[in-house]
Amino acid sequence: MKKSDLLLILEKKFEYLPKREVERTLEKILQFFSSNLSKGNRIEIRDFGSLSTRLRKSRIGRNPSTGEKIKIKDKLLVHFTPGKKLKKIINEE
């Protein structure tokens, strides 16, 4: 599902709200998530799951086009852990 698909679904569900307001609200939510994850905070949505960051340590990699060894720096990745209810819903279908 793309962001535009999600916007269409939300606009239909909340047809009493102006489309621009639905879009602005979704943007604010995504901005809130991004901002908090970049600060190292964990986001937990009950029955859905949690988002957190994990550190991937530096390592030696290879440039696929030349085969040359290169050093890959440390980086933070977003990690999603599904909640019990989400796991149950996914496994029932």
Domain ranges of the chain: 1-41, 43-93
pLDDT tens for each residue of 31-90: 999 999 999 999 999 999 999 999 999 999 999 999 999 999 999 999 999 999 999 999
pLDDT on residue 93:
64
CA 4 to chain centre: 15
Q: Which CATH architecture has domain 43-93?
A: Irregular (4.10)
pLDDT tens for each residue of 10-22: 999 999 999 999 9
Enter the tokens of residue 89: 């819903």
pLDDT tens for each residue of 31-41: 999 999 999 99
Q: Taking the model in full, what pTM does it have?
A: 0.75
